[in-house]
Structures are given as C-alpha cells and as structure tokens.
Chain A
Amino acid sequence: MRLIGLSIAALFALPILIGLFGSFLPAAGFMPQLAPGNGLQVLLSDPRFVPAIMLSLKTGLAATALVLLLTMLTLVCAHGTRLWQWLMAFLPPLLAVPHAAMAVGLVFLISPSGWLVRLFSPSVTGLERPPRSWVIPDSDGWSLVLGLVLKEAPFLLMAAAAHLSTINVSDSLKIGRTLGYSPARCWSRLVLPQLYARIRLTLFIILAFNFSVVDMAILLGPGNPPTFSVFLLSLVNEPGSRAAASAGALFLALGVVSCIALVLIVERVIAAIAGYRRVSGYRGRSLAVFRGLGQTVIAGILMLSVAAMAMLLLWSIARRWRFPDALPSQWTSENWLARSDLLLEPLFCTLLFAVFVVVSSILAAIAWLECERANAVPRLDWMWYIPLLIPQITLLFGWQAMALLLRVDGEWLTVAYAHWVYALPYVVLIMAVAWRELDSNWHSAAAVLGAGYWKILLRVRLPLLVKPVAQAAAVALAVSVAQYLPTLLLGAGRHQTLSIELVTSFGGVDRRVIATLAALQSLLPLLAFIAALYLPRLFSTANQDTHATA
C-alpha cells in the first residue's frame, strides 16, 4: 500500500520538479541546443519587459485586493440574509464556468457594442452606433481586473463559506453584539481575523493565478504592452528566444513570491492596527445604509456574471442582432447545428481529456486517501497546493522543454498528464474532508460482519462517500475543460480543445461562433455539476429501493 501511495506522490511531485528544472536549465544556459544565448540578458534588454511586468503587478494585485474586499463585504453585508442563500445557490455554477468563456461573455457585455450599451440605447444614450470613447480590452487592464474579480471572488467566497462552520459565527456575533458591538464590528473584530487565517492559502493561490493568468489576459488584457505572462508566451514562440522566455518564467515565479511577501507584510501592518482597535473599546454604530450599499454591490457583481453568461447563450442562438437592439431580431439554431464541423471535433477532444482526467484523478485520490487512512503515507496537504501556487507558465515552459528533449511533445498522454497534475489537487482536497471525517466504525462494523477490504471499500465506504466523490469528479472535469496553456504548449497544435479553439478564434471569427464555442465550453462543467448534485441522490434512492425490496 505504501508503494501505491509513494507512486502517486512521485507521479504528482516529479513533474513539478521537472517543470522547475526545465525552466531553470535553459534560462541558465545549460541547454544550448534548445535555448542558445544568455536568457536573462535578452529578457532584461527587451523594451516590453518592464511595462509588461508593471502591468501584471497592477492587474494581479488590484484584482486580488478587490477579490478579498468583495469577499469580506459579502460576508459582512449578506451573511444570514436571503441574498446569502441566493449566492450559495448561484456561485457553484459560476465557479464551474471556464475563465475564457467568462471573459468572452464579459466582452459581449461591456464592450462599446455590448449589451449594457444596447440596453440603454438609443433611449437614454441617444446612440445609434457603438460609442468610440472606450475600447475593450482597455489599455490599463481594468477589464482584465474585472474579469478576474468576477471569476475569483466566488472561489474565495466559497472557500470562506466552507470555513465559517469551524468558527461558530452565529454565537461569536451573538456574544459580540451583547457586548455592545455593531454587527459590522463583530465581523471585523471577531470573525474576519479568524477566517482570514483559514483562507490565506486560497488567497495566495488566487494571487498567483491573477498575476500569471494567460487565457483571460489574451482575451481581456491590453495588447501593447501585454501582461507579463502573455509577453512570455509570445517570447517562447519567437525563434531563439526560449532562453529569455525561460528566464522570464522564473522571473514570474519570483514575482509571485514577492507579491506573497508583500501581502504578508501588509497583513502584519493591518493585524497590528486591527489588534489595537480591537481593544480600544470603541463600539461603532450599526449602519443600515452601509449594509444596503454592500448588498447592492454584491447583487450587481452577481448580476454582471449571470448577464455575461446569458450573453453567450443569446449570441449563440442569434441570427441577426444589430446595434442598438437589446435583443436579436432573428433567432436561429444554426450556430449550433450547422457549425457542428467546428464544434464536434473540439468537443470530442475536450471530452476525451476530461474523461481521462476525471477517472484517473478520482482513482488516484481514492488510492492516496486510503493509503493515508492506513497510515501508509503521511498527510501531505501542502504538497497538493504547490502547482497551484507556481505560475502555470513557469512549470509549462519547463515541461515543454523536457517534452521537446524527450520527443514526447504533442503526444496525447503528455497533455493529459499535465491536465491530471492540475486537477488532482482539487480532487484530493475536496475528497479528503469527507474521507477523514467518515466514522471509522463503519469499517469496523462491516469487518466484524466478515467483509474484506475491497468489499468494505466498494459496498460501504464509497457509497457513503458518493456525494464528495461526485463533486470532486465535477471539479476535475471543470479543471480539465478550462485548461488552455498545458494544451497549447504541450499539444504542439495537435489537440484542438474547446479552450484552444475559443482563444484562437476570438477576435478573428464571427461573434456567434465564438459565443457558441464559449457556451459549449461552459455547458460541460455545468452539466457535470448538475450530475454531481443529482446522481448521488438517485444512487441513494436506488439503494433505498433495493433495501426496501429486500
């Protein structure tokens, strides 16, 4: 059993080491046949270097700060209200939407010819043509920031909501309020300091992602200068620039570490101020206006996300939709049916990767958690977070270099392996909670009845854990479907997934086709999440029926 556990850990951790070395060696000049020249020198002398890294710093830090603020605002203003129930219902499907699809929906919403302008034109704005006063993507990267906030805020909020039960919020608020503190002060002085410590790692993952995102930056970020990761992607494709790109990839990782260090310093300062204010005795006043304002902002953000998704659906069934019409004047199903040549191949390719990733990651997670339960391997939760904290580009440049060296680039298994590395952490971490909490007496009860290990696992433990397994499977599928960079860099153009097709087509192809691609890409994880919600119920109902019949 120990061997199985160690093999899984090796299969997971080895690519991370290979990725880091694969970026370091060309950058340091140790792979002259693949990456000639002094990478660092070339990188630093490139005029795009400084503007690109400054833009990434700005968008990455601004988006992360806004995500954190929005999450806290939501908790303070919405927790315990009907809006909170709405958020808990709507956020999982929004989380399932791939970043690229959300970015496309957002462009259809906020661009000069987007739905928001159409909604008020010409009645309010008087516009008969799309305005020219702004463009999307904007040159300052604010549309990218907005896109990142829309996608990452639900992620942090869901993580925070999962931790709330460990803090006993309602009693903390009750005690705080009877001591004379307003609800907002109770949150800021009692709940948030405890909660922040629990969501810090998730925040760092979001920071690393925001700083190094590629697909969303291509769709929503400015082109000149581009974000640093997009600049590196263009660099790696330039002949003779691999060494510089690899050096840049390491620089990107260093940037993430610096940003995390910055957050830790800011955190210390805020903690010191908060610590002082906590014992000052100042009670504060309950401001209903603040609460209302916060709820309005949250509802607005939620509506923006939902509207962005609705845009994809609307454009995918639109035949004729002229500006400034708020809705298409003619509808059609042809975008879905007549373009099947364009949709089916990417769909099949995406599904093939997704099915492999779902099955392999679920099996690996079960094996790992069973090894952990049998004390064959230690708890290594920190290990699963590593690839999520390292910029994708840093690891992928390394993997690509190694794949080129070993002549396995473009192979289906190479790409699938990369998808697996990115899906497995989520699968293990989701399943681990339920796995560890499951009462070990179930095992004992079955064992004394004479059941062996496999029978207990398959007939007792797994049926009891079917819900988290189904949720983990849906997340694995969502992660695989959303993968852009691994497919692009390791696939050598041979694997046209929906993600690749969508980002490549954006800007050059008909809006209706792009919307259809994005809608299809969003539909897959959404269906997976719906299945994860209902299939376990069917399963348990079937079990109950069997028992009843028996």
Chain B
Amino acid sequence: MQPLKVSNLTLQLPDGSKLCEALSFEVSPGEVLALMGPSGSGKSTILSWITGTLSPRIRAEGRVWLGDTDITFLPVERRCLGLMLQQDYLFPHMSVAQNLKFGLRGGSRKERDELVRNSLNSAGLAGMDKRHPLTLSGGQRARVSLLRTLLSNPHALLLDEPFSRLDTDLRATIREFTWDAARKLPTLLVTHDKEDIPAHAQTVTLTSLGDAADHLSVGETRHAR
C-alpha cells in the first residue's frame, strides 16, 4: 500500500469565497487523518475533490497522489479509492451477498462465493448472505457497507461522517470494526465529532467557510505521523 498525498489544494466557491487554500497533507498506510470542522467548512467538498466527484461549479487547484501516481485527472472509477458516506447505500435490489459481490473484482464464481462468506464470517454476519439489506439492523448494514468497500480492494479509504447516523451505543462497536478493517490503508476521515477520531489519528481542523486566514492548514504540510 502507498500513501495518499494531497498537495496545494485550493477550493473556491462560485461566489469567490475559498473553502481552503494551499492545503497539503499526506496519509501513510495504516494511518488516519481526520478533517474536523463545523458544517459548511468544506470537509466533504475536499473529499469529493479527492474522489473526483466535485461539482464543476467549484473551482479546484491542486494535486492528489496515490504513492507515485498522480490520480488528479483520472475518472472516479479508476482512482481505486474506497468511499463511505453517512448512509450505507446498500443497493435495495440486491441481497447482502450480491451487494458484496458487486464490490469484488474478478475471480471465479467459487472464489467469489468463498470471499463473501469469509468476509461475512469475519464481521460476525455469518449466514446473512441471502438477507435483504432492509432486514438488517443499522450496525449490520454499516458493516456490510464497509465490507463491500474493502472487497473492492481500494488503495485508500475515505470516510465521510460514516458513524453520524448510527445510535450512540452502536457507534463504538462500528468505529472499532472500521479501524480494525482499515488498519493497512491510508484513511481520511471527515467528521465533526471528536469521538469518531481514533487515538492514533492526526487532525486538521477547518474552522469556517471562506475564512482563509483561519485555516490551520494554509501553506502547511501536515503528515499523519
């Protein structure tokens, strides 16, 4: 696995205000960088830019690298990034196993079945392969969604407030499950809840939208080590 690097990222809204200016950071495999900040401070927009799904209305400058590969201009599907959003987005027209197989790349039918079964077992979801996503609990859904992302073999993991919709009791379990599953990947976490951030993570705080002077990260390179 290789580090995820962002260099000199500047995001500008159509009205001219800047979400961030010359933001740079690097996240190595096994490390977590948390982007903190209030709603509207641009955390999710930075994630959208990294995944390649940024609205064309927002002007962006900067580069994103996976190891030595510049992925800035690659289409979304070729960036090899795993994305988790607030909602789990388990596709309702597929069973749990089909959702997981949708994430898998290649392999024979037998190998794919085996991989799915092992993944479900490892997540404490044994025997749930034929279940419809709607019949699962919130925690089970979150785990399946993360498994699907990991099965697609991403080179980095991007998490956009993935725990915010979970019950308080469930959050700790899912957080633990997530950090355990993501231990070999560079992980970028967007959150506004300090509780979400694991102990070993580094944090960049975006304070307010458009207030470039307040951005802690201006001109700085923050390594997550």
Contact = CB atoms under 8 A, between A and B. Distances in A.
A178 B106 contact: no
B101 A178 contact: no
A174 interface: yes
A291 interface: no
B63 interface: no
B4 to A, nearest CB: 14
B77 to A, nearest CB: 5
A281 B112 contact: yes
Nearest to B94: A278
Given A172-B89, A175-B89, A278 B77 contact: no
Q: How large is the interface on B (under 10, 10 to 19, 20 to 34, 35 or more residues)?
A: 20 to 34
A178 B81 CA distance: 6
Given A177-B76, A279-B97, 8 more contacts: A179-B148, A181-B77, A190-B91, A194-B92, A194-B93, A281-B101, A281-B106, A283-B105
Nearest to B151: A179
A416 to B, nearest CB: 44
A258 interface: no
A171 interface: yes
A177 B98 contact: no
A172 B83 CA distance: 12
B87 interface: yes
Nearest to B97: A279
Nearest to A179: B152
Contacts of B76: 174, 177-178
B97 to A, nearest CB: 8
Given A179-B148, A279-B102, A283-B105, A174 B77 contact: no
A175 B82 CA distance: 9
Contacts of B98: 275, 278-279
B71 to A, nearest CB: 12
Contact of B101 (A181, A194, A279): A279
Contact of A177 (B77, B85, B91): B77
Contacts of A286: 75, 77
Interface string B76-117: 111111110101010111100110011111110000100000
A76 to B, nearest CB: 15
B51 A178 contact: yes
B53 interface: yes
B85 A281 contact: no
A279 B112 contact: yes
A180 interface: yes
Nearest to B98: A279
A193 interface: yes
A79 interface: no
B149 A179 contact: yes
Contacts of A175: 83, 85, 89
Nearest to B93: A193
Interface in A150-170: 168
Nearest to A194: B93
Interface string A47-71: 0000000000000000000000000
Contacts of A279: 94, 97-98, 101-102, 104, 112
Majority DSSP secondary structure for residues of B touching A? loop
Given A279-B112, A281-B105, A178 B92 contact: no
Nearest to B80: A180
Interface of B: 51-53, 75-83, 85, 87, 89, 91-94, 97-98, 101-107, 112, 148-149, 152, 154
Q: How large is the interface on A (under 10, 10 to 19, 20 to 34, 35 or more residues)?
A: 20 to 34
A181 B91 CA distance: 14
A180 B154 CA distance: 9
A182 interface: yes
A271 to B, nearest CB: 9
A189 interface: yes
A382 B40 CA distance: 44
B53 A174 contact: yes
Contacts of B80: 180
Contacts of B104: 279, 281
Contact of B102 (A178, A179, A194): A179
Contacts of A183: 77
Interface in A12-62: none
A182 B77 contact: yes
A180 B77 contact: yes
A178 B77 contact: yes
Contacts of A168: 89
Nearest to A196: B93
Contacts of A171: 85, 87, 89
Contacts of B82: 178
Contacts of A283: 77, 105
A174 B44 CA distance: 13
B162 to A, nearest CB: 12
A80 B104 CA distance: 27
Contacts of A182: 75, 77
Interface string A191-213: 00110010000000000000000
B145 to A, nearest CB: 9
Nearest to B116: A279
Interface string A385-410: 00000000000000000000000000
Contacts of B79: 178
A195 to B, nearest CB: 10
A210 to B, nearest CB: 27
Q: Which of A175, A181, A278 is most buried by chain B, counting CB atoms within 10 A of its CB?
A: A175
A394 B79 CA distance: 57
Nearest to A284: B77
